[in-house]
Amino acid sequence: MNFFTVNQLATRWHVHPITIRRYIREGKLKAKKIGGSIRISKKAAQDMANTISPFPRRSAPPHLSHRPHRRAFSDTDPLWRFKGLGFSQEAI
């Protein structure tokens, strides 16, 4: 029977080794301790791979319609009166 180490399986699944150890601790992935190191059987890895999604589910990105309403900037906006206040032609 073929076995994977924690690091081998983490590399294969593109996850951190701590994630593999967490799966083992939570009972989601069956493993055995052989000679002081943790080994995961090929069958256990295949069973786990069939039950998990390859990508974590994330919430949908916010749409533009969900953003707070912003007032349009127009020619009559009071901020225009600040235009040029800090500008000076004279040398200091």
Torsion, Cα 69 70 71 72, to 10 degrees, reads -120
Query: What's residue 78's pLDDT?
Result: 73
pTM beyond 0.85: no
Q: CA nearest 38: which of 48, 49, 30, 46?
A: 30
pLDDT of residue 50: 84
- Burial pattern 12-30, b for ≥16 Cβ within 10 A else e, equals ebeeeeeebeebbeeeebe
* Fold annotation for 3-51: Arc Repressor Mutant, subunit A (1.10.10)
Block mean pLDDT (10 aa), the chain, length 92 = 90 92 93 93 91 67 62 70 67 59
> What is the predicted pLDDT for the residue at 8?
95
Question: How high is the pLDDT of residue 49?
Answer: 84
> In the chain, where are the structural domains located?
3-51
